[in-house]
RNA sequence: GGCGGCAUAGCCAAGUGGUAAGGCAACGGAUUGCAAAUCCGUUAUUCCCCGGUUCGAAUCCGGGUGCCGCCUCCA
């Protein structure tokens, strides 16, 4: 079964084929760095990371590019005035460049904490102004764009496919009363490629004028082209990007290059919080720090955000994160059990016992992710593996095979399962031995006090016939037995 | 007003024509010095509602209700 993905452009599940064998050119719409990213933003970036991971496991070289929008485009295409980075800068009485620099750094820290593999390039809009101008000038020259004073607009009527991605038509957009009609635009749906405003702080000189800055959509077309070439295999983003952002990107890029822009357009559904839309007013635009402050790990958050299918709505509540934490602990535990079965400490007598079931679970896991990244289905396959381990139906060699799979495929794909064996500080190990001695002496008051101590240190114990197994509660890393 | 998506047990969630996966939580029992972990068992005659097609529908069609997204900055 080949990898199949849902393509927003065709509204169908399609076999995944790249332009160049073995290489995937992937562009992910990244953040506008004017504030701290919240868990909803991360759902989209985590989807991109999961896709990248699965493509790599499938043998592709993934050329992943995620843009950083550090030039605040206008709050509004109709030019209601302010740019959001500049608005934030004014609020904080800081230089807009300082705002974008600070939030870019914070964004990278958050991505790393979430276990996202770094993209090959994180191009900044501010560093690609010449590339944008090259495209804008080209579009004017080809007749797809027109100048209005010192502004430049894209003329959607010149691009018949405009609306194909989102299912809108230029005629319907015309009827939609929500786009402010600007006098200088030939059609209400025409969008800005370049704007001019002497009051802007982030501005550049160009042949269009002294005080210009790019429109919202051109940066992605220009940066994708610069770093990946005229054509892409995959372009991702949140569902809100479908229109107008991606629709406009297609119009710009394809008009400019004369070639199809991206083969596959993949979009993540919005994350809801408490069953509704996140909003600053409700105070539920949670950041990673909010998650930590509530006592949860970022690792558990990652799991919580990727365990649902990316095209299904996903709800977030603290209770749901609590549940996800439990599930993840069981996944960590799967590794511990397999390692034990592999060493022959616990398992079936015959080394090959369970080899067939292990093979089925592994095949199901792969088939699930090949099916448009069906993570929930893949997790069920992992749970099947766990049942085999718990029921001690795996021989040493079957367990070894399963363990290799979990570490090198499942964890590599999901990025949040603890597969490392933990290490213990000497004094903690001493406490465990002391508790063992107390239990042997039937001094249960002493042994229970020591166990409570260890819990406070984040160590949970499991008493078995062979000795005590332990693990770090948050990281899930463990070891033992200690006799 | 236009376009699109979703609705499966207390909760998360798979399943797109063949008779409801998996998980979390809960409860009862076993095990344990007590716990934890683990094991056994229980938890949707039914898939938002109403019609229709079919031998047969959660799955297809029509209508309705609710929620979400886009059309204006947003992942």
pLDDT for the residue numbered A319: 93
- A237 and A297 fall within a common domain: no
- ipTM of the predicted structure? 0.94
Q: Is the CB of A242 under 7 A from strand B?
A: yes
Helix (H, G, I), strand (E, B) or coil at A462: strand
- A97 and A198 fall within a common domain: yes
- A84 and A175 fall within a common domain: yes
Q: Is residue A281 part of a domain?
A: no
Report how far residue A65's alpha carbon sits from residue A170's, in angstroms, rounded to the nearest whole number.
31
- A216 and A296 fall within a common domain: no
- A464 and A396 fall within a common domain: no
pLDDT for the residue numbered A75: 47
The separation, in Å, between residue A471 CA and nucleotide B36 C1' comes to 12
pLDDT for the residue numbered A350: 85
Q: Is the CB of A440 under 7 A from strand B?
A: no
The separation, in Å, between residue A385 CA and nucleotide B27 C1' comes to 26
pLDDT for the residue numbered A232: 96
Report how far residue A223's alpha carbon sits from residue A184's, in angstroms, rounded to the nearest whole number.
28
Report how far residue A412's alpha carbon sits from residue A53's, in angstroms, rounded to the nearest whole number.
7
In the 75-104 segment of chain A, residues within 7 Å (Cβ) of strand B are 75-77, 84
User: Which nucleotides in chain B lie less than 7 Å from some protein C-beta?
Assistant: 1-7, 11-15, 21-25, 32-40, 67-75
Domain boundary among A362, A394, A414: A414
Q: Is residue A279 part of a domain?
A: no
Domain boundary among A355, A387, A414: A414
In the 454-473 segment of chain A, residues within 7 Å (Cβ) of strand B are 460-464
pLDDT for the residue numbered A111: 97
Q: Is residue A275 part of a domain?
A: no
Q: Is residue A274 part of a domain?
A: no
- A212 and A238 fall within a common domain: yes
Q: Is residue A440 part of a domain?
A: yes
Q: CATH code at A321? A: 1.10.730
- A314 and A403 fall within a common domain: yes
- A82 and A215 fall within a common domain: yes
Cβ–Cβ < 8 Å for A412, A53 = yes
Domain boundary among A218, A239, A268: A268
| Beta strand A314-316 pairing with A459-464 | unpaired
The separation, in Å, between residue A11 CA and nucleotide B51 C1' comes to 29
**Please, what are the averages of pLDDT over each run of 10 residues along chain A (483 residues)?**
90 94 97 92 96 98 96 53 73 84 96 97 96 97 94 92 85 54 77 89 92 92 97 95 93 96 95 86 90 95 96 93 95 93 78 92 96 96 95 92 97 96 92 95 95 92 89 88 85
Q: Is the CB of A450 under 7 A from strand B?
A: no
Q: CATH code at A11? A: 3.40.50.620
pLDDT for the residue numbered A80: 46
Cβ–Cβ < 8 Å for A200, A150 = no
Q: Is residue A421 part of a domain?
A: no
Report how far residue A240's alpha carbon sits from residue A74's, in angstroms, rounded to the nearest whole number.
17
- A32 and A73 fall within a common domain: yes
Q: How many domains does chain A have?
A: 3
- A430 and A403 fall within a common domain: no
- A300 and A172 fall within a common domain: no
Q: Which residue is the nearest neighbor of B14, CA to C1'?
A: A377
Instruction: Please give the C-alpha separations between residue A263 and each of A20, A21, A67, in angstroms, as whole numbers.
Output: 12, 14, 19
- A194 and A170 fall within a common domain: yes
Give residue A357's domain range: 289-414
| Across all strands, nucleotide nearest A42 (CA–C1') | B75
């Amino acid at each position: 079964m080949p990898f199949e993905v849902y393509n927003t452009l065709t509204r169908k599940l399609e076999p995944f084929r790249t332009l160049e064998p073995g290489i995937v050119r992937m562009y992910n719409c990244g953040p506008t760095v004017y504030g701290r990213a919240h868990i909803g933003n991360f759902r989209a970036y985590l989807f991109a990371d999961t896709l990248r991971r699965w493509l790599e496991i499938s043998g592709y070289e993934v050329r992943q590019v995620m843009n950083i929008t550090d030039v605040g485009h206008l709050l509004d295409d109709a030019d209601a005035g302010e740019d959001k980075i500049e608005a934030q800068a004014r609020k904080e009485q800081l230089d807009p460049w300082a705002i974008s620099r600070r939030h870019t750094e914070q964004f990278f820290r958050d991505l790393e904490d979430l276990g996202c593999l770094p993209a090959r390039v994180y191009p900044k809009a501010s560093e690609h102004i010449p590339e944008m101008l090259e495209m804008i000038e080209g579009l004017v020259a080809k007749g797809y764009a027109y100048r209005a004073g010192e502004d430049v607009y894209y003329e959607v009527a010149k691009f018949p496919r405009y609306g194909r991605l989102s299912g809108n038509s230029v005629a319907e957009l015309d009827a939609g009363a929500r786009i402010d009609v600007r006098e200088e635009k030939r059609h209400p749906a025409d969008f800005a490629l370049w704007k001019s405003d002497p009051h802007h702080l982030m501005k550049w000189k160009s042949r269009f004028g002294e005080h210009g800055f790019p429109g919202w959509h051109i940066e992605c077309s220009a940066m994708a082209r610069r770093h990946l070439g005229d054509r892409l295999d995959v372009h991702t983003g949140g569902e809100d990007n479908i229109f107008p952002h991606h629709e406009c990107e297609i119009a710009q890029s394809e008009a400019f290059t004369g070639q199809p822009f991206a083969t596959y357009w993949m979009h993540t559904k919005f994350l809801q919080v408490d069953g509704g839309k996140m909003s600053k007013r409700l105070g539920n635009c949670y950041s990673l720090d909010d998650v930590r402050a509530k006592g949860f790990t970022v690792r558990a958050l990652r799991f919580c955000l990727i365990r649902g299918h990316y095209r299904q709505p996903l709800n977030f509540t603290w209770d749901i994160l609590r549940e996800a934490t439990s599930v993840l602990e069981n996944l960590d535990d799967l590794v511990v059990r397999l390692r034990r079965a592999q060493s022959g400490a616990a398992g079936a007598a015959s080394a090959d016992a369970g080899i067939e079931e292990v093979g089925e679970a592994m095949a199901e896991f792969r088939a699930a992710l090949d099916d448009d990244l069906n993570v929930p289905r893949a997790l069920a396959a992992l749970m099947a593996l766990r049942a085999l381990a718990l029921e001690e139906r795996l021989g040493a060699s079957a367990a070894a095979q399963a363990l290799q799979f979990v570490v090198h495929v499942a964890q590599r794909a999901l990025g949040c399962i603890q597969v490392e064996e933990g290490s213990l500080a000497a004094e903690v190990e001493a406490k465990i031995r002391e508790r063992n001695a107390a239990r042997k002496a039937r001094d249960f008051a002493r042994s229970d006090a020591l166990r409570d101590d260890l819990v406070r240190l984040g160590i949970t114990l499991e008493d078995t016939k062979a000795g005590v197994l332990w693990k770090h509660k948050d990281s899930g890393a463990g070891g033992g037995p200690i006799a």
